[in-house]
Amino acid sequence: MLYFREEKAPNGRMTEGQVSRKGARGVSFALVSAMLLASCASAVPPSRLGDYLSPESQADAGVFGRLEPRPVPAGLLLVSDTAHPGASPNLPDEALRQLGESLKQEVSRAIPVRIKEMVPPESIQPQANGDWAQFAELAKKHELEYLVLVVLSSTEQEYPVTLFLGWTTYAQPGFRRDNWSLLEVALLDVRNNRVLIQAEGRGWATLDSPTAPGINQWYPVIYLRPQDPERRIWPPTYEGAPNTLRVVSFDQAAKRMTLNLQKAWIESLQAAGAEVHESS
């Protein structure tokens, strides 16, 4: 299923690069909104990984860098966390499946891991200080020694705004929905009860929708504020726009998670090299 598109739309709908810049009245609000998004991005939503993994399970920085043989065979476990107050709904099943397929490729490129299979989360639940036993049981069931755990979480806020048709002077009441998403990844050495490496990535996006449908040549539309405010993404349907917003936001989080995971791998290699140098 296609959840969004960026090519030229029918009925004269503008694509990025074709949009008029006459909507000056909305500039100041857009700047304020961008500042708020940027300030919240580092803390919203809060980290959820600590409710699945205990801090005591974190291995030394160089352990993964010394691990042989590589690549490490592992299962990919996606857990959609909605337990935190204010959490957004889960992604639709098909969108979650597509995200998993993408992460299988991206994680394998970022670190020396070979994803053997997608592991259903089954009864994995957040608990105070984490519960390693539930991961050990799941890994044993699938005959795996390593799991790549990815915890998905997001939150949203919606508020009324004035929307300009064609970014000109004709206005209509509408709503703006901001989404903040977070992907947290950890490579679990299940047999030895330790986390070998972990990283996170955050994403955010904004959905503008009119109070009533019927002006689909302009709305609903998704912006990548504040990092790429000129880029516009149009959901395929009015009703499905909130799900498209979440898909876009998680896609941005996945890109940052992959970069941070690769950085963590390089740091692990450097730590392992430093240990060898000190011992020689």
Helix H or strand E segment including 40: helix 27-40
Q: Please give the pLDDT value at position 2.
A: 40
- CB neighbours of residue 124 within 10 Å: 20
Q: What is the C-alpha to C-alpha distance for residues 131 and 119, in angstroms, rounded to an integer? A: 18
Looking at the domain assignment, is residue 85 inside a domain? yes
Please give the pLDDT value at position 141: 95
Give pLDDT, residue 54: 85
Domain that holds residue 52: 24-279
Is 9 a domain residue? no
Q: How many domains does the chain have?
A: 1
Tell me what pLDDT residue 67 has.
85
Is the residue at 173 inside a domain? yes
**How much is the pLDDT for 29?**
40
| 31: phi then psi, degrees, rounded to nearest 5 | -65, -45
Q: What is the pLDDT of residues 88-142, one digit of tens each?
A: 999 999 999 999 999 999 999 999 999 999 999 988 999 887 889 999 999 999 9
- What pLDDT is attached to residue 280? 63
Question: Within a domain: residue 157?
Answer: yes
Q: Are 83 and 76 in contact (CB under 8 A)?
A: no
What is the pLDDT, as a whole number, of residue 277? 67
CA distance 237 to 78: 27
Residue 154 located in a structural domain: yes
The pLDDT of residue 160: 95
Q: Is residue 44 part of a domain?
A: yes
Q: Does 11 fall in a domain?
A: no
DSSP label at residue 89: P
Is the residue at 6 inside a domain? no
- Spans in the chain with pLDDT lower than 50: 1-2, 5-40
